[in-house]
Amino acid sequence: MTVVETRGLVKTFGSVRACAGIDLTVRRGETVALLGPSGSGKSTLLRHLNGLTRPDSGSVSVLGVDVVSARGTALRALRRRVGVVFQQFNLVGRLTVMENVLSGALGRVRGPRYGVVTWPRAVRSEAFEHLDRVGLADRAYQRAGSLSGGQQQRVAIARALLQRPELVLADEPVASLDPETAASVMDLLVRVCREDGLTMVCTLHQIELALQWTGRVVGLRLGEVKLDEPTDLLDAVRLRGLYLSDPVTV
């Protein structure tokens, strides 16, 4: 089944063509890295996939929904099916780790109101299971803001999983982490998505991370797809060409 399909996607900011006619098809269960130098259009492309940006022209279909025309309820319904992981984790630092994870269920379960009603027991135990999967069960009742960056991103992944998404989008999920932590968080992100049969599309700007952890690399340069190959067949020389400042023919 096709989870993501863009055709002829064009997005311009002033004189900058952030996306210059992108055709991208992602099938269920794939783990895809959008890779390219800064300014190549990775984030803009990703933002089209949950309707944060609308194209100037072209089509965007995600989980069978026409994202370009979706508004209001239809767009909210789609976003409930799409988990998002951000570069800066976006946790609420003063709340506990557990409360942050539980917020992932807000789209499908009525959460506590004014601290009177608590989360259903089943949701709490599901949240706890995800915290356990990301290795942070023992941190459940600490303030999220007291954790390290790598731990905060693990919490954000648990929060996204509690949403029970079909697609996970991650914009530079490890760009704020040191190399060792970045590798372990990429390992976790890809592993849980594969375990749960989720489709994952992330942006990365480091070739090594994409090659080591994802199943397919879509190489972007100046808003165009310059290569699109399964990671194990990828020609690393061509891939590195994307990063050269001279115009490349790949």
42 lies in the site for ligand ADP, by CB under 6 A: yes
Stretch of residues binding ligand ADP (CB under 6 A), selected from 25-33, 38-46, 61-69, 228-236:
38-46
Q: For Mg ion, give the closer residue by CB, 42 or 79.
A: 42
**Residues 8-37, interacting with Mg ion (CB under 5 A):** none
Q: From ligand ADP, Mg ion, none, which one binds at residue 241 (CB under 5 to 8 Å depending on kind)?
A: none
Tokens of 135: 């290795």
| Closest CB 34 distance from Mg ion, rounded Å | 9
103: partner contacted, choices Mg ion, ligand ADP, none (Cβ within 5-8 A by kind): none
Size of residue set near ligand ADP by CB under 6 A: 12
34, 202 contact by CB (below 8 A): yes
Position 13 contacts ligand ADP (CB under 6 A): yes
Q: Are 136 and 77 in contact (CB under 8 A)?
A: no
Place of tokens 């879509």: 218
Select from 29, 39, 58, 145 the one that contacts ligand ADP (CB under 6 A): 39
36 binds, among Mg ion, ligand ADP, none (CB under 5 to 8 A by kind): ligand ADP
59: phi then psi, degrees, rounded to nearest 5:
-120, 150
Q: How far is the CB of 226 from Mg ion (least distance, A)?
A: 17
Minimal CB distance residue for Mg ion: 43
Please give the Cα distance from 37 to 41 (Å, whole number): 9
Alpha-carbon span 93 to 245, nearest angstrom: 40
How far apart CA 15 and CA 32 sit, in angstroms, is: 29
Considering the complex, state which of residue 41 and residue 55 has its C-beta at the smaller distance from ligand ADP: 41
Beta carbons within 8 Å of 211's beta carbon, 6+ residues apart:
217, 231, 234, 236, 239
Collapsing DSSP states into helix, strand and coil, what is residue 107?
coil
Confirm or reject binding of residue 43 to Mg ion (CB under 5 A): yes
- Residue from 4, 26, 32, 43 in contact with ligand ADP (CB under 6 A): 43
Helices (H), the chain: 42-48, 72-80, 97-102, 121-133, 149-162, 179-195, 207-213, 236-241
Q: Is 40 in the site for Mg ion (CB under 5 A)?
A: no
User: Does 44 help bind ligand ADP (rule: CB under 6 A)?
Assistant: yes
Q: According to CB under 6 A, which residues from 172 to 211 bind ligand ADP?
A: 203
Tokens 């699109």 locate to 228
Contact 9, 55 (CB under 8 A): yes
Q: Does the footprint of Mg ion cover residue 53 (CB under 5 A)?
A: no
**Selection from 183, 189, 204, 230 nearest residue 33 by Cα:** 204
Choose among ligand ADP, Mg ion, none what residue 165 binds, the Cβ cut-off being 5 to 8 Å by kind: none
Give the residues lining the site for Mg ion (CB under 5 A). Answer: 42-43
The binding site for ligand ADP (CB under 6 A) comprises: 13, 16, 18, 36, 38-44, 203
